[in-house]
Amino acid sequence: MARVFGACRVLMAAKAASSPNAASSAKASRILKPLPVSQAMKEFVGASEISRSEVVKKIWDHIKANQLQNPANKKEILCDKKLKTIFEGRDKIGMVEVLKLITPHFLKPN
């Protein structure tokens, strides 16, 4: 009896490993797919279509190049004039707010 269940577990594990979860792959494709962006985001990144992951990368490159992380609280970003154009004119934002604040800049494709 143990052999039968042992074999079933091996087969089930192989099946689970071979078929990726459709929801996670769909989510990953949305993150990596270039989408049209707003005029403000276009001026920031220099492209009319870009993926979310590339936007985040460019934002972090800008933050690091201009030393915009708050030295007292590394989870806080101090916005310069360029970042204020895409972050609703705010003076500072939290790291976790970045994705929420860039979402409105991605336009739905026609």
- The model's pLDDT over 21-80, given as tens digits with 9 standing for 90+, comes to 666 676 666 678 899 999 999 999 999 999 999 999 999 999 999 999 999 999 999 999
Query: What's residue 77's pLDDT?
Result: 96
Q: What pLDDT does 7 receive?
A: 60
Candidate CATH numbers 1.10.245.10, 1.10.1740.10, 3.40.630.30, 1.10.10.10; the one for domain 32-105: 1.10.245.10
pLDDT given for residue 6 in this prediction = 57
Residue tagged 């769909």 (tokens):
26
**Residue range 85-109, pLDDT digits in tens:** 999 999 999 999 999 999 999 988 7
Instruction: Give the pLDDT band (50/70/90) at residue 2.
Output: low
CB atoms within 10 A of CB 50: 22
Determine the Cα–Cα distance for residues 38 and 45; give it in Å rounded to an integer: 11
